[in-house]
Amino acid sequence: MHSHATRLDGIPPTIFTQMSALAVRTGALNLGQGFPDSDGPASVVEAARSALAQGRNQYAPGPGTPELRAAIARHQQRHYGIELDPEREVVVTTGATEGIAAALLGLVDPGDEVAVLEPYYDSYLAMIQIAGGVRRPVTLRAPDFRLDAETLRTAITPRTKVLLLNSPHNPTGTVLTGAELQLVADVAIEHDLVVVTDEVYEHLTYSGHTHVPIATLPGMAERTLTLSSSGKSYSLTGWKIGWATGPVDLVGALLSAKQWLTFTSGSPLQPAIAHALDAEPEWPRELARSLESRRDLLCEGLAAAGLSPRIPEGTYFVTTDISALGWTDGLAFCEALPERAGVVAIPTQAFYDDVDAGRHLVRWAFCKQPDVVAEGVRRLVAAELRS
Q: Does 22 bind ligand GLN (CB under 6 A)?
A: no
Q: How far is the CB of 242 from ligand PMP (least distance, A)?
A: 4
Name, in order, each residue with C-beta under 8 angstroms of 115's C-beta and a sequence gap of 6 or more. 136, 137, 138, 152, 155, 156, 160, 162, 163, 164, 193
From the list ligand GLN, ligand PMP, none, partner contacted by residue 233 (C-beta under 5 to 8 A by kind): none
Judged by CB under 6 A, the residue of 30, 76, 170, 270 near ligand GLN is: 170
Max intra-chain CA distance, the chain: 59
Q: Does 245 bind ligand PMP (CB under 6 A)?
A: no
The answer to whether the CB of 264 falls within 8 A of the CB of 99 is no
Judged by CB under 6 A, the residue of 30, 34, 160, 251 near ligand GLN is: 34
Q: In terms of residues, how long is the chain?
A: 387
196 vs 101: CA distance, rounded Å: 11
Q: Does 233 bind ligand GLN (CB under 6 A)?
A: no
From the list ligand GLN, ligand PMP, none, partner contacted by residue 368 (C-beta under 5 to 8 A by kind): none
132 vs 342: CA distance, rounded Å: 41
Nearest 5°: the CA angle 222, 225, 200 is 140
Q: Does 174 bind ligand GLN (CB under 6 A)?
A: no
299 vs 363: CA distance, rounded Å: 11
From the list ligand PMP, ligand GLN, none, partner contacted by residue 96 (C-beta under 5 to 8 A by kind): ligand PMP
The answer to whether the CB of 142 falls within 8 A of the CB of 310 is yes
Q: Does 348 bind ligand PMP (CB under 6 A)?
A: no
In the complex with ligand PMP, the residue whose CB is nearer, 166 or 377, is 166
Name, in order, each residue with C-beta under 8 angstroms of 297's C-beta and a sequence gap of 6 or more. 366, 370, 373, 374, 377
Q: How far is the CB of 14 from ligand GLN (least distance, A)?
A: 6
367-386 footprint of ligand PMP as x/- string (CB under 6 A): --------------------
Q: Does 312 bind ligand PMP (CB under 6 A)?
A: no
- Sign of CA pseudo-dihedral 147, 149, 150, 156: positive
Q: Does 64 bind ligand PMP (CB under 6 A)?
A: no
From the list ligand PMP, ligand GLN, none, partner contacted by residue 242 (C-beta under 5 to 8 A by kind): ligand PMP
Judged by CB under 6 A, the residue of 96, 107, 125, 307 near ligand PMP is: 96
Structure-derived torsion over alpha carbons of residues 3, 131, 138, 295, reported in degrees to the nearest 10:
-80
Binding to ligand PMP (CB under 6 A): which residues in 209-238?
A: 229, 231, 237
In the complex with ligand PMP, the residue whose CB is nearer, 160 or 174, is 174
- 205 DSSP assignment: B
Name, in order, each residue with C-beta under 8 angstroms of 122's C-beta and a sequence gap of 6 or more. 14, 15, 16, 350, 351
Point out which residues bind ligand PMP (CB under 6 A).
95-97, 121, 166, 170, 198, 200, 229, 231, 237, 240, 242
Give contact residues for ligand GLN (rule: CB under 6 A): 14, 16, 33-34, 170
